[in-house]
Each structure stands twice: as C-alpha cells, then as structure tokens.
Amino acid sequence: MRSLLARRGPTIAGIASLIFCLNLSAQDTAMRYPSDLMTRVRDAADSILGDFPQSIAYAKVAESHRAYSAIIEDGSEDTFVSARTAFQIRYAQSSIMIDSGMDEEVHTYYGFGRNEPYFANVNQDVQLALFEADQIIITHEHGDHVSGVIRSPFFQQIAAKTLVTEAQVNTLVNNPQLPQIQLTPEQADQLRVVEYGLTFPVAPGVVLIKSPGHTPGHQMVYVKTAAEREYLFVGDIGWSMVNFSELKLRPESTRSRIGENAEALMNQMVWIREVMDDEGVIVVPSHDNILLEEYVAEGLLGDSLRL
C-alpha cells in the first residue's frame, strides 16, 4: 500500500533521537530512556504519510499454565495463564502483524513436559494473516514470537516483508533459543533486516522502540489509531500487567534461565508504568490472558483476525 511507504522528511525530534542513540547497540541494555522519549515516539508516528490504523486485534494460538511464582518476584502459587499471541494492526486496506504464532512442535517445547492447550485452527488463521499482511514485526527472537515466520510454509512469500533487527538475526543464526528456530544465513538474507538507534517509524502511527534486556533484539511497538488511542506492545518485558503495576521483575531463577538483564528490564518497566499512568497509553504485554480478555470486553482489542 503506497501510504505505508511514503515518508515525510525527518523531524527535528527524529534527528535528535538519531544523534542521541548513534552509538546505542544491543549491548547497551541498561540505558535509561530519555525524558522526552514519548514526544519523540509521537513525532515519529506522524512522520510517515497516510491514515492511521483503524483497529487492532489479537489471536491466541496456545496457552501455557504457570504459577505466578514463576512470573513475578514473590508471586503466589495461583495459576497464571500465559496466552501465546500474535497481533494484527488493521488499516482500511492493509495490515501489519506483530509476532507470528507458532506450530505445535514449538509449542510443545514451552510445555516443559506438560500437555497444554494448542489451537491449530487459530494458528492457521495467523499464517493466513501473515501471508496477507503488508509488514510483519517481530518483538523478539523467542520461538513463540518468531517461529511462525521461520517455520512458515509461506516463508518465501513473507520473508521480505518481515522486519527484523541485526541483533535478532544474530541471535537466531548463532544462538537460537531452540534448534527449530535457527536461521540459516540464506534465510536471513531474505528477511528485511534493519538497524536503528532508539526509535524507528515503520508505517503511519506505528513506531518501533529498541528495548534489549529480555533478549538482545527485543523491541516494543507503539501504535496510534485513527481514534487517537495509543497502544504500547511491550512484548515480554513483563509477562503480566502486575510486573508493571508493582514494578517487579520475574524471579531470579526465571531471569537466569532466560539470560535476562535485570537492570535493563527495570529501567524499561519504570518508563512503561510512567507512560501508562501519566500519558494514558494502553500497555499490552504479549502473554497476560486476563488483561487481553479485559481489553476485548472494553472494546480496545478485537479477538479475531481479519482475513
């Protein structure tokens, strides 16, 4: 769609963001975000010509059941339902996908020996939505977020419109979370690989925000709709809204297993809570099943993809 590609010239705020972040790399994971980051993000969202998205929906391809004690420091033994999701940003005549679902083999890896719910028909819908999307954004390089592209039967058709960062590709080629999602150099060459400072506008109303810490290539996605609702898709910085509302990390054992940078995550969570509380931004963790269902009930998200 032409409007998703037409760019205005760089804004002053955009230039300032580039200068500030010129030396930012995936290793600079403990940085604090600048105080004017939200202004920069909003300016970047306006920097590409075209109508803003009309709505956003999500699909849940699977569930993982964990105790809150594995989700948040000092958590209880009550069950947390982790929704394995993909999101669809809908324009009038086009769409952008955030993350890509996963097949049942990859889902089995996350069960750690347990038999957990998997919805094959929903994952088929996600595959069709990926095929039809104008762009595909990957929040980070874990299997439940990226394998729907890497292992897709449509890989040849969707690779060139899948936007990944250099840090994500480096992980997926050299140190993948599981063997099933390892990228070959030939596959990596087919993807749309980008590198940016702190923010990167990709379409009208849609901006990427670099947020390494959970993984080296983690990024958030800001979306502003035509109705002027502002969303922040925070990937796996926190799995539950409680991580942000109480500013609590995952327990040390979980962080160690994943290989997270605790200082980076806390810096990110502080900023996320500020924009949620002070700016009214709708924060969307990828996996908080209860919160996602509340957003559907409130009309903030749809629960079926447009195909």
The answer for residues whose C-beta is within 8 angstroms of residue 267's C-beta and 6 or more apart is 30, 31, 32, 33, 213
pLDDT at 94: 97
pLDDT at 222: 98
Q: Considering the domain boundaries, does residue 236 fall inside one?
A: yes
Q: What is the pLDDT along the chain (307 residues), one digit of tens a residue?
A: 323 433 323 333 333 333 334 334 444 556 789 999 999 999 999 999 999 999 999 999 999 999 999 999 999 999 999 999 999 999 999 999 999 999 999 999 998 888 999 999 999 999 999 999 999 999 999 999 999 999 999 999 999 999 999 999 999 999 999 999 999 999 999 999 999 999 999 999 999 999 999 999 999 999 999 999 999 999 999 999 999 999 999 999 999 999 999 999 999 999 999 999 999 999 999 999 999 999 999 999 999 999 9
- DSSP bridge partners of 64: 82
pLDDT at 111: 84
Q: Considering the domain boundaries, does residue 184 fall inside one?
A: yes
pLDDT at 20: 37
pLDDT at 14: 37
pLDDT at 61: 98
pLDDT at 74: 95
Query: Which CATH number characterizes residue 157's domain?
Result: 3.60.15.10
Q: Considering the domain boundaries, does residue 224 fall inside one?
A: yes
Q: Considering the domain boundaries, does residue 154 fall inside one?
A: yes
Q: Considering the domain boundaries, does residue 259 fall inside one?
A: yes
pLDDT at 8: 29
Dihedral angle at the C-alpha atoms of 185, 145, 256, 172, nearest 10 degrees? 0
What is the SS3 assignment for 288? strand
Q: What residue ranges in the chain does DSSP mark as E strands?
A: 55-67, 79-90, 95-98, 135-137, 162-165, 192-194, 199-203, 206-210, 219-224, 230-235, 282-285
Q: Considering the domain boundaries, does residue 307 fall inside one?
A: no
pLDDT at 30: 63
pTM: 0.91
Q: Considering the domain boundaries, does residue 303 fall inside one?
A: no
Is beta strand 55-67 parallel, antiparallel or unpaired with respect to 282-285? Answer: unpaired
Q: Considering the domain boundaries, does residue 305 fall inside one?
A: no
pLDDT at 10: 33
- Number of folded domains that form the chain: 1
275: containing domain:
2-297
